[in-house]
């Protein structure tokens, strides 16, 4: 399927590396005008230089209360409007429950959930029938791991938020969906995957037998942003090698009955 997004104006948050960068590249290759945002200025510049078509960028930290409004205002100034919003900015910070402070919990929720909400809210006046919002959640929204109580909470909230906003915007023909990636080869997992024991544990838990690629998430996001997904509203798509749906016989200490 040749998906085209010619002339459509897209915002991609968390675009300086990993999944966000791959999505920006995929949208650009499909003809979209891409507005990149992240707190990593050097990473943004590198990604912008790699894109196939026009782009603009802004350095933003979603710990700032007005970050969402500033992102959308800059995108509108650059391209005259917004047709696609990809909310990918997020942090993966973990701690055992007894060590998870309220301050860290609030930080995770503010970046992972409030950030996506405020960007979408600020973009709403510019969205029209056929526009699309894609939130990048996580398989951890349904399959939590030790130390990840706050992260899992944030990603579960993002899935529910997707459905809630979709309920309001679907009558206008504005589609809101989300993707739940499994373990993906990105800077967020780089240190974990470098440890042979942890790497083997992660891979063994994936029925597909490998860690996913950022480009595979980008392909799903580009599809959801396009007219090819015109009948999809409020969907949550697992792109996780089967992790949340299929029992993996290689996973240590598991069985179909457990």
Q: What is the pLDDT of residue 248?
A: 67
* pLDDT mean over 74-98: 96
Exactly one of 117, 126, 151, 233 is catalytic; name it.
151
Beta bridge partners of 9: 33
Domain extent, residue 100, equals 9-236
- Does residue 151 have an active-site annotation? yes
Does residue 191 fall inside a structural domain?
A: yes
Does residue 226 fall inside a structural domain?
A: yes
On whether the pTM is more than 0.85, the answer is: yes
Beta bridge partners of 196: none
| Tens-place pLDDT, residues 13-42 | 999 999 999 999 999 999 999 999 999 999
| Tens-place pLDDT, residues 87-103 | 999 998 889 999 999 99
Q: What is the pLDDT of residue 21?
A: 98
pLDDT level of residue 255 (50, 70, 90 thresholds): very low
Does residue 3 fall inside a structural domain?
A: no
Does residue 243 fall inside a structural domain?
A: no
Does residue 177 fall inside a structural domain?
A: yes
Does residue 113 fall inside a structural domain?
A: yes
Q: Is 236 left (phi over 0), alpha (psi -120 to 50) or beta?
A: beta
Per the structure, how many domains does the chain have?
1
| Cα–Cα dist 226/183, whole Å | 25
**CATH number, domain at 164?**
3.40.50.720
Does residue 257 fall inside a structural domain?
A: no
Does residue 161 fall inside a structural domain?
A: yes
* pLDDT mean over 126-138: 98
Q: What is the pLDDT of residue 250?
A: 62
Is the pLDDT score of 199 beyond 90? no
Strands (E), the chain: 9-13, 33-38, 55-59, 84-87, 132-136, 175-181, 236-239
């Amino acid at each position: 399927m040749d998906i085209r997004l010619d002339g459509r104006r897209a915002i991609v948050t968390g675009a300086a590396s990993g999944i966000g960068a791959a999505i920006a590249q995929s949208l650009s290759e499909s003809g979209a005008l891409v507005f990149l945002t992240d707190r990593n200025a050097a990473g943004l510049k590198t990604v912008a230089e790699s894109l196939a078509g026009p782009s603009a960028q802004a350095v933003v930290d979603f710990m700032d209360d007005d970050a969402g409004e500033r992102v959308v205002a800059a995108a509108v100034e650059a391209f005259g409007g917004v047709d696609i919003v990809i909310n990918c900015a997020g942090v993966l910070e973990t701690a055992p429950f007894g060590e998870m402070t309220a301050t860290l919990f609030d930080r995770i929720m503010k970046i992972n959930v409030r950030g996506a909400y405020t960007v979408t809210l600020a973009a709403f006046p510019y969205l029209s029938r056929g526009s699309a919002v894609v939130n990048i959640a996580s398989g951890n929204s349904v399959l939590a791991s030790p130390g990840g109580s706050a992260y899992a909470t944030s990603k579960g909230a993002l899935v529910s938020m997707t459905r809630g906003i979709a309920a309001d915007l679907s009558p206008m023909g504005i589609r809101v969906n989300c993707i739940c990636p499994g373990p993906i080869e990105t800077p967020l997992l780089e240190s974990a995957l470098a440890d042979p024991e942890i790497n083997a544990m992660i891979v063994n838990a994936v029925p597909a037998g490998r860690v996913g690629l950022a480009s595979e998430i980008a392909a799903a996001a580009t599809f959801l942003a396009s007219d090819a997904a015109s009948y999809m509203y409020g969907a949550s798509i697992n792109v996780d090698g089967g992790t949340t749906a299929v029992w993996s016989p290689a996973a240590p200490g598991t069985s179909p009955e457990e």
